[in-house]
Amino acid sequence: DAIDAEVRDHPDVVTSVAVNGIGLILAAVVIGKVWFAAVSWGGISRRRTRRYLTIWSGVTFAFVVLTLLAGPPFDTYRLRHLCLLAALWMFPLARLGMAPDSLAHNRHRL
């Protein structure tokens, strides 16, 4: 009952803690995504990597711009940061690096 009373009395604190927690989780997911992509792209040619990174950069830039344009004008809880992290998380980065291993595994499965 005491926790429920604190939540009712101080909703701004609860919202702030929730936004900070979600922000930390999204930051960890984005860092993990970039790390996994760096590890899995070891065997990909430079030409293919450059081409995919160009596409990835363009789409991610579009997501970030849309996020900034759609953000609230008076951002009390800094939700714009959460939206930017979500935009960076959206477009896949490691798929190209995983493709050769997945295809080789499928060939040997028959």
Question: What pLDDT tens digit does each residue of the chain (110 aa) get?
Answer: 787 888 888 888 888 888 888 888 988 988 888 888 777 777 777 888 788 888 888 888 888 888 778 777 777 667 777 777 877 777 676 666 676 767 777 766 65
For residue 110, what pLDDT is reported? Answer: 53
Q: Per-residue b/e over 26-37, b at no fewer than 16 CB within 10 Å? A: beeebeebeeeb
C-alpha 27/C-alpha 33 separation (Å) is 10
Q: Are 80 and 72 in contact (CB under 8 A)?
A: yes
The model's pTM:
0.65
For residue 97, what pLDDT is reported? Answer: 67
The first and second tokens of residue 91, run together, are 């477009």
